[in-house]
Chains A and B, each alone.
Chain A
Amino acid sequence: MTISDSRPDAGDRAAARRPSRLFRNLPSKIAMLPLIFTAVVVFLGGTIWTVIYSFTKSGLLPRLSWAGLDQYERLWSSRKWIVSIENLAIYGFFSLIGTLVIGFTLAALLDRKIRGEAVFRSIFLYPFALSFIVTGLVWQWILNPELGLQNVVREMGWTGFSFDPLNNPDIVMFGLLIAGLWQGTGLIMCIMLAGLRGIDEDIWKAARVDGIGTVKTYIRVIIPMMRPVFVTSLVLIGAGIVKLYDLVVAQTSGGPGISSEVPAKYVMTAMFGGQNLGQGFAASTMMLVMVVIILIPWAYLEFGGKKHG
Chain B
Amino acid sequence: MKLRIKLLSATAICAATTAGAVDLEVMHWWTSGGEANAVAKFAEAWTATGNTWVDGAIAGGGDTARPVMVSRIIGGDPPAAFQFNHGRQAEELIEAGLLLDLTDVAEAEGWADIVNPSSLLDACTVDGRIYCAPVNIHSWQWMWLSNAAYENAGLAVPTTWTEFAESAPALQEAGLTPLAMGGQSWQQNGAFGVMALALAGEEAWLSVNRDKNAETVMGPEYTRVFEAFGAARVFSDGLNVQDWNQATAAVINDTAGAQIMGDWAQGEFAMAGEVAGEDYSCLPGLGEVAILDTGGDAFYFPKQDDPEIEAGQKELAAMLLSPEVQVSFNSAKGSLPVRGDVDLTSVNECTQKGLDLLANGNIVPNGESFLAPDTISQLNDLMTEFWNTPAMTPAEVQEQYSDIIASAE
Q: Which residues of A contact B (CB under 8 A)?
A: 59-61, 78-80, 144-146, 164, 166-167, 169, 252-259, 269-276, 279
User: Whole-angstrom distance from the CB of A282 to the nearest CB of chain B?
Assistant: 13
Query: Hey, which chain A residues are within 8 Å of B376, CB to CB?
Result: 274
Check A169–B374 contact: CB distance below 8 A.
no
Check B185–A275 contact: CB distance below 8 A.
no
Q: List, sorted by A's number, 9 A–B pairs whose CB atoms are closer than 8 Å.
A: A61-B96, A78-B381, A79-B381, A80-B385, A166-B240, A253-B184, A272-B63, A273-B63, A275-B92
Check A255–B70 contact: CB distance below 8 A.
no
> Quick one: which of A61, A164, A253 contacts B242, CB cutoff 8 A?
A253
Check A257–B66 contact: CB distance below 8 A.
no
User: Whole-angstrom distance from the CB of B131 to the nearest CB of chain A?
Assistant: 15
> Quick one: which of A59, A80, A254 contacts B374, CB cutoff 8 A?
A59
Complex interface bits, B84-96 against A, C-beta within 8 A gives 1, otherwise 0:
0000010111001
By secondary structure, the A interface counts as: loop
- Known contacts A252-B183, A253-B242; 9 further A-B pairs (Cβ under 8 A): A61-B92, A80-B381, A255-B184, A255-B384, A258-B385, A273-B63, A273-B377, A274-B374, A275-B374
User: Whole-angstrom distance from the CB of A127 to the nearest CB of chain B?
Assistant: 23
Query: Hey, which chain B residues are within 8 Å of A79, CB to CB?
Result: 381, 385
Query: Hey, which chain B residues are within 8 Å of A274, CB to CB?
Result: 373-374, 376-378
Query: Hey, which chain B residues are within 8 Å of A61, CB to CB?
Result: 74, 92-93, 96
Check B183–A256 contact: CB distance below 8 A.
yes
In the docked arrangement, what's the CA distance between A270 and B385, Å? 17
Known contacts A61-B74, A253-B242, A272-B63; is-contact A258 B384 (Cβ 8 Å): yes
Check B388–A169 contact: CB distance below 8 A.
yes
Query: Hey, which chain B residues are within 8 Å of A60, CB to CB?
Result: 70, 91-93
Check A257–B374 contact: CB distance below 8 A.
no
Query: Hey, which chain A residues are within 8 Å of B372, CB to CB?
Result: 59, 275
User: Whole-angstrom distance from the CB of A244 to the nearest CB of chain B?
Assistant: 19
User: Whole-angstrom distance from the CB of A177 to the nearest CB of chain B?
Assistant: 19
- Give the residue name and chain of the A residue nearest to B377 (CB): A274
User: Whole-angstrom distance from the CB of B63 to the nearest CB of chain A?
Assistant: 5
In the docked arrangement, what's the CA distance between A178 and B67, Å? 31
By secondary structure, the B interface counts as: helix
Check A145–B240 contact: CB distance below 8 A.
yes
In the docked arrangement, what's the CA distance between A270 and B96, Å? 21
Judged by a CB distance under 8 angstroms, whether B144 is at the interface is no
Query: Hey, which chain B residues are within 8 Å of A273, CB to CB?
Result: 63, 373, 377
- Give the residue name and chain of the B residue nearest to A166 (CB): B240
In the docked arrangement, what's the CA distance between A60 and B66, Å? 10
- Give the residue name and chain of the B residue nearest to A275 (CB): B373
In the docked arrangement, what's the CA distance between A80 and B185, Å? 13
Check A257–B96 contact: CB distance below 8 A.
no
Known contacts A257-B384, A272-B63; is-contact A59 B92 (Cβ 8 Å): yes
User: Whole-angstrom distance from the CB of B201 to the nearest CB of chain A?
Assistant: 28
Query: Hey, which chain A residues are within 8 Å of B184, CB to CB?
Result: 253, 255
User: Whole-angstrom distance from the CB of B73 to the nearest CB of chain A?
Assistant: 10
Is the interface on chain B under 10, 10 to 19, 20 to 34, or 35 or more residues?
A: 20 to 34
In the docked arrangement, what's the CA distance between A167 and B182, Å? 12
User: Whole-angstrom distance from the CB of B400 to the nearest CB of chain A?
Assistant: 8
Judged by a CB distance under 8 angstroms, whether B387 is at the interface is yes
Judged by a CB distance under 8 angstroms, whether B18 is at the interface is no
Query: Hey, which chain A residues are within 8 Å of B240, CB to CB?
Result: 144-146, 164, 166-167
> Quick one: which of B66, B67, B89, B388 contacts A255, CB cutoff 8 A?
B388
In the docked arrangement, what's the CA distance between A147 and B378, Å? 33
In the docked arrangement, what's the CA distance between A224 and B136, Å? 68
In the docked arrangement, what's the CA distance between A255 and B373, Å? 20
Most B C-beta atoms less than 10 A away, residue of A59, A145, A252, A257: A257
- Give the residue name and chain of the B residue nearest to A145 (CB): B240
Query: Hey, which chain B residues are within 8 Å of A144, CB to CB?
Result: 240
In the docked arrangement, what's the CA distance between A205 and B386, Å? 63
Check B63–A257 contact: CB distance below 8 A.
no
Most A C-beta atoms less than 10 A away, residue of B66, B89, B385: B385
Query: Hey, which chain B residues are within 8 Å of A272, CB to CB?
Result: 63, 66-67
User: Whole-angstrom distance from the CB of A59 to the nearest CB of chain B?
Assistant: 5
Query: Hey, which chain B residues are within 8 Å of A256, CB to CB?
Result: 183, 388
Known contacts A61-B74, A256-B183; is-contact A279 B385 (Cβ 8 Å): no
In the docked arrangement, what's the CA distance between A274 and B63, Å? 9
User: Whole-angstrom distance from the CB of A205 to the nearest CB of chain B?
Assistant: 57
Query: Hey, which chain A residues are within 8 Å of B381, CB to CB?
Result: 78-80, 258
Judged by a CB distance under 8 angstroms, whether B389 is at the interface is yes
- Give the residue name and chain of the A residue nearest to B383 (CB): A257
- Give the residue name and chain of the A residue nearest to B186 (CB): A273
User: Whole-angstrom distance from the CB of A1 to the nearest CB of chain B?
Assistant: 66
User: Whole-angstrom distance from the CB of B22 to the nearest CB of chain A?
Assistant: 28
Known contacts A164-B240, A169-B389, A273-B373; is-contact A254 B66 (Cβ 8 Å): no
In the docked arrangement, what's the CA distance between A213 and B385, Å? 53
User: Whole-angstrom distance from the CB of B247 to the nearest CB of chain A?
Assistant: 13
Complex interface bits, B370-408 against A, C-beta within 8 A gives 1, otherwise 0:
001110111001001111110000000000000000000
User: Whole-angstrom distance from the CB of A65 to the nearest CB of chain B?
Assistant: 12
User: Whole-angstrom distance from the CB of B315 to the nearest CB of chain A?
Assistant: 28
User: Whole-angstrom distance from the CB of B13 to the nearest CB of chain A?
Assistant: 30
- Give the residue name and chain of the A residue nearest to B96 (CB): A61
Check A276–B389 contact: CB distance below 8 A.
no
User: Whole-angstrom distance from the CB of B370 to the nearest CB of chain A?
Assistant: 15
In the docked arrangement, what's the CA distance between A253 and B186, Å? 12
In the docked arrangement, what's the CA distance between A144 and B240, Å? 8
Query: Hey, which chain B residues are within 8 Å of A78, CB to CB?
Result: 381
Query: Hey, which chain A residues are within 8 Å of B67, CB to CB?
Result: 271-272
In the docked arrangement, what's the CA distance between A271 and B376, Å? 13
In the docked arrangement, what's the CA distance between A276 and B376, Å? 11
> Quick one: which of A145, A253, A257, A276 contacts B388, CB cutoff 8 A?
A257
Query: Hey, which chain B residues are within 8 Å of A270, CB to CB?
Result: 374, 377
| Nearest 8 CB-CB pairings of A with B | A257-B388, A274-B377, A60-B92, A256-B388, A274-B374, A276-B374, A272-B67, A275-B373
In the docked arrangement, what's the CA distance between A259 and B385, Å? 8
In the docked arrangement, what's the CA distance between A272 and B63, Å? 7
